[in-house]
Structure 1
Amino acid sequence: MFDLGRGFLATVERRPHAVAISDGGTHKTYAQWYADIQSVARHLGWLGLGKGDRLLMAMHNRWQMATLYWACQFAGIIATPVNWRSTALDIRYYLKNSGAGVIAYDDAAAEAVLACAEAHRIPQIVVGTAMPPSAIAFDSMLGSTGDTLLMATPDDYSMMLYTSGTTGRPKGVPRRHRVERAATAAYVAQNLYRHDETVLGVMPLYHATGVRALQAMAMVDGRFVCIPKFEPEATLDAIERERVTSLNLVPTLYHMLLEAPGFSRHRVASIDKVGFAGAPMSAGLIARVEAAFQPSLFVNQYGCSELYALTVDQHANHKPGSSGRAALNQRLRIIKIGSTSPQMCVSPGAEGEIIADMRGDEAFEGYWACPEADDKAVREGWYFTGDTGYFDDDGDLFVTGRVDDLINSGGENISPLEIENVLSLHPQIEEVAVVGLPDEKWGQAVTAFIKARSALDERELGSYCLDAGLTRFKCPRSYRFIEELPKSPVGKVLRRVLRVQSVTSGVQGAPTQQANVTMG
């Protein structure tokens, strides 16, 4: 099997003059970009990084970031991208945990890096204007010549992503070249990518979906269109200018694109395929995306940093809510919630925890320097995702949330996603998130947080839920109207923030409105 560097070189040899990457007015062919990548790889070695060492990167999606990533693949260095919104404390943690020998950053992360004492003890590579005297300008690493660097093997580590840290400190997920290549090949097949595909590179390169798109385009001789920071109008400009053929976003970004004043079908006419990952897409948003883009392929991929794509549905618009079936390199089970044995499977239709076979080609082998996390997540050769879901009678998986997100009201386990799907179809609801808030009588009360397009009556919403087929105990007991839902950097709605805000201080400026619905 090729390592990732040899895979990229094969593309350069096939189509050296094809455009490989664009970033605003910058366009580079595979031959031009390869020369830059090799030059940067040499300079990383001159800075003291060798095979197996880590390069920490905190910057926007830009061609320089992608160049550093590919330079690591040729040099045998472990690319370690982190959130460019990180604080100085975050940077300190990442440096200490990863043991990175060099840090690269741009203006987006400059303030945090410069405030971190540990970052000043190692070489700094900088893109932008915030240049401390001892730092190395990225541009100075371009233009060198020499022998081709091909230092990695398929069994070497390629990269390390950090999990989002929803249950504590982020954990490093190291992944080998062969694992990355297998995952990328599966991604190409599952998204039906062609050699002339042009993908919008808007998902951050510290996120599995972002890095997967970058590697997939290099595998099929396609083009990666950098979007440094998601802004609806700039993104629409890039789609129109670069004739982007494929989108793969989190649902929140689709919502923001469709709500943009400048959105029109004409501006996105080049889009042929759409996909989403990172969070479920409501039935209402699926209908809007299908109408707006009229795609030939509508893909939903459910996965995680540890095992990448767990399931794929290439007809996400046909069965809203479904995540499809096990992806090319996966085996899945649903086990009883709270069980520690992968043998405790539940029947079709019953909700439980989703677990995945660790023997799959895309699976990691354990967290970086975190054995206690391994002990919790990996049991008897199966990875316990912490996600809940069920298989329907057709064998399709429905992901219903996180184990911690389940609402227990009156002794009944309730999935927030089912209720959100119903409310998302209401024409006056722009976005909705459902959580369980402490309640003396019920244990937890089903509560809907709504961003509305116009004023709504809570009585009407209660009747709407019943008319849509929700059983009475699942209907929200209260509604709270807010201006924006809290979200993670990649657009996931943060239900835990809604819970904490409501319990500690309430939702500022958002009056609680009780639903007048009789509950059974």
Structure 2
Amino acid sequence: MDLATMFEFAVKRYPDAIAIVQENVRFTYARFDEEINKLAAGLQTLGIEKGDRVLLVTKNRWEMVALYWAIQKIGAVFTPINFRLMSHEIEYCLRDSEAKAIVYEPASKDEVLKATKDVSVKKIGLLNVEGAEVSYKELLRLGEEKNLIRPQIDMDDICLILYTSGTTGKPKGVPRSHKNEYGAAVAHILQNQYVTGESTLGVMPLYHTMGMRSLLSMAFLNGKLVMTPDYSPKKLLEEIEREKITCAYLVPTIYHDLVNHPDFTKHDLSSLTKLGYAGAAMTTSLTKEIFEKLNPKVFVNHYGCTEVYTFTTCNYLDKKPGCAGKPGFHQDIRVVKVDPNKEVGPDDVVAPNVPGEIIANLSSIEAFRGYWKRPDANKKAIRQGWYFTGDLGYFDEDGDLYVVGRVDDMIISGGENIHPLEVEDVLSKHPKVYEVAVAGLPDDHWGQIVTAFIVKADPTLTAQELDQYCRESGKLANFKRPKKYIFVKEIPKSPVGKILRRKLKNGEYDGILDFALEG
């Protein structure tokens, strides 16, 4: 059961259902399938064959979704990357993936043309972008003149390569098979309690696993995917109301932007009843705010990664806010001792309520089999059939998982281990705090000191006020209280909303030191 066949089954079930929307563009499943078949045949006329990689450097456009399905129909490999990447990063991904074609648009034109200067690759352009050998419209025309030839596709064939962000070196390609993606989509549907005919926002990037889940789950259920190439909270609020969006799968940052937008109460969001989040931790204060303002029937914390997809899910956040919950539909999870020498095995488990490294069973249908051309990365992350996530967490007495941060983000101050999330969770509840991130900065005496980076919701907020708040919270031991407060204009984040603590540690922010405790 390859992905394109699954899509064609959906087309036959409900041909007149709306498949995709972007502004004034609307396609039924039947009409979208016609477009996709032409694109697929057009790609074949360019010499794109089964197994060939096609690199895409575009925003979340409906054309990108059409190309996704066209690439699946010919057995090629959809390889999307961030359209904001610089030319040397694009060139690296081009050469690493050995892509036969690259798709780009005006937003990525300059960097793509520089990246492809010395690389032999077919250039396909969207929106009449300059420099392309073939435009999207020309690709359709080529497809009209040629019959699509569907190759035999096996479930273990690679259909997708996602590149990880590469925060500690070159990005790593994560090959995903039809079986992996089918399994992840089924798990996503079950774990988020989706039904036939749902509708969702296509706002999470399609170069990210969250974007892929929304795309596939909607297609399998004859749902509607509403694409939003240019993100703005106001635009999302309008789309939820206009398109009667029923479910959303977003990072906490976007939920924060939505429920705190000044126009939030002006929009009818009653259709939106199923919410899921992933990609980063959500504070208990934001969790509570979402329950109060959106009143979801389903609200799921989905903890996973590009390589495996599901680790755990929690759909009882009203009882345990911030909890990552139980292992997913296809998964088994353990927490083992932290070992910088990477000699710990999957049987070196820790006791309940003791933090350790979270590991996931690679026998899951959702799990990859190893990085693209990176045996060094495989050796580091894969041991005895388990994926070592690099995340810190613990199981409580109920067997529920809590994620407390990255192993690399753990602050060691005066020999004590301090996890940024527990400090952030306290500070985020202060009414004058808009956003907070905590990191460990070097210190001659302590080794590292807990430093809080604060975006103010109220200009009158002072660091002394926050320090007193932490003292009186009853939730932070004195050694965990921030010794520095730095007020910043914004918290640096990745394109999918993850806090970039390395930038905070490196001084890559616009802010001022307001307060430093002595001793």
**TM over 0.5: same fold?**
yes
Tell me if 1:496 matches 2:502: yes
**Partner residue, 1:293:** 294
How many residue pairs get matched?
511
1:57–1:81 CA contact under 8 A, matched in 2: yes
Q: In the TM superposition, what whole-angstrom CA distance separates every residue of 1:418-457 from its partner, at most 9, and x where no partner exists?
A: 1101111111101000111111111110111100112223
Question: Counterpart amino acid of 1:198?
Answer: S
**Partner residue, 1:465:** 470
1:54–1:99 CA contact under 8 A, matched in 2: yes
Partner residue of 1:139 out of 137, 140, 144: 137
**Partner residue, 1:510:** 512
Question: Counterpart amino acid of 2:423?
Answer: I
Q: Give the match's secondary structure for 1:501.
A: coil
**Partner residue, 1:477:** 483
Stretch moving more, 454-463 or 426-435? 454-463
Shift of 1:123: 1.2
**Partner residue, 2:409:** 405
Stretch moving more, 252-261 or 143-152? 143-152
Q: In the TM superposition, what whole-angstrom CA distance separates every residue of 1:183-242 from its partner, at most 9, and x where no partner exists?
A: 100100001111110011100000000011100001111111101121122222211111
Distance in 1, Cα, partners of 2:468 & 2:168: 36
Question: Counterpart amino acid of 2:431?
Answer: P
Shift of 1:317: 3.4
Shift of 1:46: 1.0
Question: Counterpart amino acid of 1:358?
Answer: L
**Partner residue, 1:423:** 427
Shift of 1:286: 1.1
**Partner residue, 1:210:** 211
Shift of 1:299: 0.8
Q: In the TM superposition, what whole-angstrom CA distance separates every residue of 1:321-376 from its partner, at most 9, and x where no partner exists?
A: 21111101111111111153122110000001011111111110000001100011
Q: In the TM superposition, what whole-angstrom CA distance separates every residue of 1:10-67 from its partner, at most 9, and x where no partner exists?
A: 1011011100111111110110011111111111111111111100001011110001
Distance in 2, Cα, partners of 1:366 & 1:113: 28
2:353–2:397 CA contact under 8 A, matched in 1: yes
Tell me if 1:84 matches 2:121: no
1:5–1:152 CA contact under 8 A, matched in 2: no
Q: 1:315 to 1:118 in 2, by over 3 A?
A: farther
1:92–1:119 CA contact under 8 A, matched in 2: no
1:462–1:515 CA contact under 8 A, matched in 2: no
2:486–2:511 CA contact under 8 A, matched in 1: no
Tell me if 1:281 matches 2:282: yes
Tell me if 1:341 matches 2:345: yes
Q: Give the match's secondary structure for 1:264.
A: helix
Q: 1:391 to 1:118 in 2, by over 3 A?
A: farther
Q: Give the match's secondary structure for 1:42.
A: helix
Shift of 1:311: 0.6
**Partner residue, 1:327:** 328
Question: Counterpart amino acid of 1:460?
Answer: E
Distance in 1, Cα, partners of 2:149 & 2:506: 54
1:265–1:292 CA contact under 8 A, matched in 2: no
Partner residue of 1:351 out of 349, 355, 365: 355
Shift of 1:265: 6.1
Distance in 2, Cα, partners of 1:317 & 1:101: 49
1:325–1:395 CA contact under 8 A, matched in 2: yes
1:479–1:515 CA contact under 8 A, matched in 2: no
**Partner residue, 2:400:** 396
Question: Counterpart amino acid of 1:464?
Answer: Y
Distance in 2, Cα, partners of 1:305 & 1:20: 25
**Partner residue, 2:196:** 195
Shift of 1:466: 2.6
Q: Give the match's secondary structure for 1:221.
A: coil
1:458–1:515 CA contact under 8 A, matched in 2: no
Q: 1:76 to 1:185 in 2, by over 3 A?
A: same
Distance in 2, Cα, partners of 1:420 & 1:201: 29
Q: In the TM superposition, what whole-angstrom CA distance separates every residue of 1:396-439 from its partner, at most 9, and x where no partner exists?
A: 11111111000001111111001101111111101000111111
Q: 1:35 to 1:346 in 2, by over 3 A?
A: same
Q: In the TM superposition, what whole-angstrom CA distance separates every residue of 1:61-115 from its partner, at most 9, and x where no partner exists?
A: 1110001111111110010000011111111001000000000011121111011
2:345–2:383 CA contact under 8 A, matched in 1: yes
Shift of 1:316: 2.4
Tell me if 1:39 matches 2:10: no
1:271–1:295 CA contact under 8 A, matched in 2: yes
2:233–2:257 CA contact under 8 A, matched in 1: yes
Shift of 1:116: 1.6
Shift of 1:379: 0.8
Distance in 2, Cα, partners of 1:47 & 1:485: 44
Q: Which runs of 5+ in 1 are unaligned?
A: none
2:41–2:149 CA contact under 8 A, matched in 1: no
**Partner residue, 1:95:** 94
Stretch moving more, 84-93 or 265-274? 265-274
Distance in 1, Cα, partners of 2:55 & 2:426: 43
Q: Give the match's secondary structure for 1:170.
A: coil
**Partner residue, 1:13:** 12
**Partner residue, 1:164:** 165
2:102–2:122 CA contact under 8 A, matched in 1: yes
Q: Give the match's secondary structure for 1:255.
A: helix
Q: Which runs of 5+ in 2 are unaligned?
A: none
Q: In the TM superposition, what whole-angstrom CA distance separates every residue of 1:238-264 from its partner, at most 9, and x where no partner exists?
A: 111111111111111111222323222
Distance in 2, Cα, partners of 1:177 & 1:13: 21
Distance in 1, Cα, partners of 2:107 & 2:118: 15
Distance in 1, Cα, partners of 2:259 & 2:417: 34
1:95–1:118 CA contact under 8 A, matched in 2: no
Aligned-residue RMSD, C-alpha: 1.5
Tell me if 1:452 matches 2:450: no
Stretch moving more, 411-420 or 235-244? 235-244
2:162–2:208 CA contact under 8 A, matched in 1: yes
**Partner residue, 2:183:** 182
1:38–1:149 CA contact under 8 A, matched in 2: no
Question: Counterpart amino acid of 1:483?
Answer: K
2:288–2:318 CA contact under 8 A, matched in 1: yes
**Partner residue, 1:114:** 113
Q: Give the match's secondary structure for 2:512.
A: coil
Shift of 1:167: 1.6
Stretch moving more, 477-486 or 284-293? 284-293
Distance in 2, Cα, partners of 1:119 & 1:365: 32
Tell me if 1:29 matches 2:28: yes
2:490–2:510 CA contact under 8 A, matched in 1: no
Distance in 1, Cα, partners of 2:67 & 2:472: 54
Q: 1:118 to 1:331 in 2, by over 3 A?
A: farther
